[in-house]
Amino acid sequence: MQKKIIFGTILIIIIIFIVGLVPKRNTNIYLSLAGYSPYDRIDMQIDIDGERLFSDTVIYSAFIPDKLNHSMRLGFHQISVKSNSLNIREDKTIFLFFNQYIIIEFFNEVEFIRDSPEFNIRTNSNPYYIE
């Protein structure tokens, strides 16, 4: 039992050390307006770890989202998305690992599903598929 605890502790320390040494990797960030929306475009401001990454308008496209590329390390990141015109703000902490992308989607209010418009921030494994 004692050996398992020591082995587990050493393994966790080694993993944290390796993750800290991994250089920044290019991460794809996809921006989209999902589903039916009366807005053909909305303003978006995206901050990642306190750094302004994007401050522009996202135009509705049925299939192809806007794509950004940003160098990020593995680990936890704070993402903040804001729209001034719609008065919406969403903050989320994500864990980024190897071979993952970030998707930020805007969902309009829908009767019986969602009371107000919102942003959805999530990660997924590469490659990005359009279904």
pLDDT in tens, 109-120: 776 667 788 888
Domains and CATH numbers, the chain: 26-125 (2.60.40)
Better-scored residue on pLDDT, 35 or 115: 115
The CA distance from 65 to 82, in Å, is 18
Q: What is the pTM of this model?
A: 0.78
pLDDT value of position 85: 86
Which of 41, 80, 34 has its CA nearest to residue 57? 41
pLDDT value of position 35: 66
